[in-house]
């Protein structure tokens, strides 16, 4: 598993969301590294980490365990955004003794239904993955041509930036995807599914942070979170959406530091 490392001190492990990678969290990691040793991971099938045929929260949880064992980390604070947040919840539920505290960013344990209302306010993950899978990157001469092709289907600047960040050149100089498009598409149902929690997770010190305008947050989530967690705080950052760590970085960092310290 590829990772970036910053600072010295108590360990913090950061897990990104779908289509993202470790470099999306470098600014946050560097800010946290003043008093902590921060590891920012590329999850399987993303970034510079290996592509595998399996993609589920159970196997990502096993990846976390292997990573911690390899580095000799007995326990750590975990920060997980979106898909990474669900993976952290799965890990904490399975290996609570390896978790000091968890911070879950703009995701709930529940299943996410990609209905019309949800898709209007976020990326249509299924459509994007299918288009990425169908696109023959060998036909394009430049990144600009690739983005122009996808701009016929997506006008949102953030979506186009995500696509651009996931373009690479392979060993033969041909364009290729950084993410494992085929596997992520075939396993999308596992990514949006509910993470089933147990009493194992009750006592872990936990923070949920949501964007006030995010489609990933519903008022019912408060009840769901309180059902599973006893030692929990929930913060809402108003005026921001799913990418609250980028859109409201200073406010986000302030909440993180107050909780961690």
What's the pLDDT band for 122 if we cut at 50, 70, 90?
A: confident
pLDDT digits (tens, 9 = 90+) for 38-72: 999 999 999 999 999 999 999 999 999 999 999 99
Q: What is the CATH number of the domain that holds 249?
A: 3.40.50.1820
Per-residue pLDDT reduced to its tens digit, 176-199: 999 999 999 999 999 999 999 998
What's the number of domains the chain is made of? 2
State whether 33 and 144 are in the same domain: no
Q: Are 79 and 105 in contact (CB under 8 A)?
A: yes
Identify whether residues 56 and 127 lie together within a single domain. Answer: no
7 and 75 co-located in one domain: yes
Instruction: Please give the pLDDT value at position 157.
Output: 84
Looking at the structure, tell me whether residues 224 and 177 fall in a common domain.
no
The reported pLDDT for the residue numbered 140 is: 93
In tens, the pLDDT along 135-147 reads: 999 899 999 999 9
Give the residue from 141, 169, 188 where a domain finishes: 188
| Global pTM value | 0.95
Residue where a domain terminates, one of 162, 188, 214: 188
Q: How far apart are the first and last CA of the chain?
A: 28
- Look up the domain containing 126 and give its range: 116-188
Same domain flag for 159 and 217: no
């Amino acid at each position: 598993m590829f990772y970036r490392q910053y600072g010295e001190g108590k360990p913090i492990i950061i897990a990104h969301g779908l289509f993202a990678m470790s470099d999306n969290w470098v600014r946050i990691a560097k800010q946290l590294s003043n008093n902590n040793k921060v590891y920012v991971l590329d999850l399987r099938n993303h970034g510079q980490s290996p592509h595998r045929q399996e993609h589920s929260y159970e196997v990502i949880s096993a990846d976390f365990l292997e990573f911690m064992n390899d580095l000799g980390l007995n326990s750590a604070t975990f920060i997980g955004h979106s898909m990474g947040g669900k993976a952290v919840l799965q890990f904490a539920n399975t290996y609570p003794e390896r978790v000091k505290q968890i911070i879950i960013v703009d995701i709930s344990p529940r299943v996410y239904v990609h209905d019309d209302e949800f898709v209007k306010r976020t990326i249509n993950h299924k459509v994007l993955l299918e288009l990425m899978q169908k696109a023959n990157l060998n036909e394009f001469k430049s990144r600009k041509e690739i983005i122009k092709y996808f701009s016929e289907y997506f006008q949102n600047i953030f979506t186009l930036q995500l696509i651009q960040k996931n373009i690479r050149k392979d060993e033969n100089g041909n364009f290729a995807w950084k993410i494992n498009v085929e596997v992520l598409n075939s396993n999308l149902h596992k990514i949006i599914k509910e993470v089933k929690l147990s009493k194992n997770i009750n006592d872990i010190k936990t923070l949920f942070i949501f964007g006030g305008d995010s489609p990933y947050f519903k008022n019912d989530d408060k009840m769901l979170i309180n059902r599973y967690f006893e030692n929990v705080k929930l913060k809402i950052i108003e005026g921001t959406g799913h990418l609250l760590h980028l859109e409201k970085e200073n406010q986000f960092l302030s909440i993180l530091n107050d909780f961690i310290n």
